[in-house]
């Protein structure tokens, strides 16, 4: 008898990959200490290799860190990084060099929270197949703090405008969770805490139906930038019934025909040093191995 599969379980919707989170940094040296030496991530060796921008690989995703006035994401970026003990050792090793900045880190039960020199929060989780799928290194979600009363409208915006599944959750705080890739989400958590003004940071996604969302955004006058044949941007999320502004976060929207779609990214093994070098262990594998197959 043939096995009966839940074919809907693998539906993604229109967005198929969350590729990068972009925040400006005032000092490339301090950014290198935090993102590369502290977190143990990898500077892209091929693109943005000068001193005015740095792309940092996180499995199949990236941080983009152009030079400029510091930008701080209103919320945090979640990372899956295997090896808590090694992570804590790396963060400890850069602490003295980052004195006088906003850098800090703290252990929690199921994650380590690290704060960059300018206040961006990163929560680092161990791999967990039930929660994050087979990712061992990557960005499973980005969580934003949004105003009270906005989550339900955000939850309606993404399916109708962008063709992305969204789930509304009512708990200690109302949450809208939007699927933007395999085991990847944008999460919008309501808070009554005052939030700083939006400073221009952005996220980037790849979508399959490229023109449909563009038409829908244009009908609501929400197109922010027409970049090139493969890319456009929008910033404002609105209540579709009333037109009320709900939240602002720039989305760099790329087509699946974009030349850089699923460009192979190099991820180094941060445990590899000149003193402990072992041949064949230079690469950090971003997904679980065949011995952990979920078939």
- Across-strand partners of 188? 144, 176
Q: How do 174-181 and 184-191 pair as beta strands?
A: antiparallel
Burial of 39 (0-12, 13-18, 19+ CB in 10 A): buried
Distance CA 198, CA 251 (A): 13
The H or E element containing residue 232 is: strand 231-238
Helices (H) and strands (E) in the chain, counts: 5, 16
* Mean pLDDT to the nearest integer, 199-217: 98
pLDDT of residue 3: 81
* Mean pLDDT to the nearest integer, 200-228: 98
Distance CA 43, CA 37 (A): 10
What is the tens place of the pLDDT at every residue in 114-147?
999 999 999 999 999 999 999 999 999 999 999 9
Confidence (pTM): 0.95
Inside any domain, residue 170? yes
Inside any domain, residue 236? yes
Inside any domain, residue 295? no
Distance CA 253, CA 128 (A): 29
Burial of 230 (0-12, 13-18, 19+ CB in 10 A): middle
Inside any domain, residue 282? no
Query: Would you say residue 1 has pLDDT above 80?
Result: no
Distance CA 83, CA 196 (A): 34
Chain mean position to CA 160: 22
Inside any domain, residue 63? yes
Query: Would you say residue 7 has pLDDT above 90?
Result: no
What is the tens place of the pLDDT at every residue in 229-269?
999 999 999 999 999 999 999 999 999 999 999 999 999 99
Return the biggest CA–CA distance within the chain. 66
Distance CA 57, CA 278 (A): 22
What is the tens place of the pLDDT at every residue in 81-110?
999 999 999 999 999 999 999 999 999 999
Query: Would you say residue 44 has pLDDT above 70?
Result: yes
Inside any domain, residue 102? yes
Query: Would you say residue 209 has pLDDT above 90?
Result: yes
Inside any domain, residue 284? no
Is residue 45 within 8 A of residue 57, CB to CB? The reply is: no
Query: Would you say residue 69 has pLDDT above 80?
Result: yes
pLDDT of residue 171: 80
Residue 29, phi then psi, degrees to nearest 5: -65, -45
Distance CA 55, CA 32 (A): 10
Burial of 183 (0-12, 13-18, 19+ CB in 10 A): middle
Greater model confidence, 141 or 173: 141
pLDDT of residue 294: 61
- Share the mean pLDDT of the chain: 95
- % the chain with pLDDT above 70: 99
Task: Provide the 10 A C-beta neighbour count for residue 16.
Answer: 19
Task: Provide the 10 A C-beta neighbour count for residue 72.
Answer: 17
Query: Would you say residue 172 has pLDDT above 90?
Result: no
Inside any domain, residue 291? no
Query: How many domains would you assign to the chain?
Result: 1
* Mean pLDDT to the nearest integer, 24-45: 98
pLDDT of residue 60: 97
Going by pLDDT thresholds of 50, 70 and 90, the confidence category of residue 295 is low
* Mean pLDDT to the nearest integer, 37-61: 97
Q: Coil, strand, or helix at residue 245?
A: strand
* Mean pLDDT to the nearest integer, 209-233: 98
| CATH number of 224's domain | 3.10.180.10
Question: Which residue range is the domain that position 158 belongs to?
Answer: 12-276
pLDDT of residue 253: 98
């Amino acid at each position: 008898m043939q096995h009966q599969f839940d074919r809907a379980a693998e539906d993604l919707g229109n967005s198929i990959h969350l590729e990068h989170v972009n925040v400006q940094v005032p000092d490339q040296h301090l950014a290198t200490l935090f993102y590369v030496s502290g977190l143990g991530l990898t500077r892209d060796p091929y693109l943005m290799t000068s001193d005015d921008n740095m792309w940092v690989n996180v499995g199949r995703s990236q941080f983009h860190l152009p030079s400029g006035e510091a930008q701080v994401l209103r919320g945090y970026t979640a990372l899956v990084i295997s090896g808590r003990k090694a992570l804590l050792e790396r963060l400890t090793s850069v602490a003295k060099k980052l004195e006088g900045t906003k850098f800090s880190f703290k252990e929690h039960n199921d994650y380590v929270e690290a704060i960059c020199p300018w206040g961006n929060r990163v929560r680092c989780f161990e791999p967990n197949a039930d929660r994050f799928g087979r990712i061992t290194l990557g960005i499973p979600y980005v969580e934003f703090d949004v105003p009270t009363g906005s989550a339900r409208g955000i939850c309606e915006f993404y399916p109708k405008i962008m063709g992305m599944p969204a789930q509304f959750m009512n708990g200690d705080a109302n949450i809208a969770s939007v699927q933007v890739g395999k085991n990847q989400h944008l999460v919008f958590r309501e808070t009554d805490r005052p939030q700083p003004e939006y400073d221009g940071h952005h996220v980037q996604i790849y979508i399959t139906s490229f023109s449909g969302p563009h038409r829908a955004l244009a009908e609501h006058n929400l197109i922010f930038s027409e970049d090139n044949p493969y890319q456009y941007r929008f910033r404002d999320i609105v209540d579709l019934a009333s037109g009320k502004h709900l939240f602002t976060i720039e989305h760099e929207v790329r087509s699946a025909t974009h030349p850089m779609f699923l460009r192979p990214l190099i991820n180094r093994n941060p445990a590899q040093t000149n003193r402990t070098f072992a041949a064949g262990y230079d690469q950090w594998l971003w997904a679980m191995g065949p011995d952990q197959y979920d078939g």
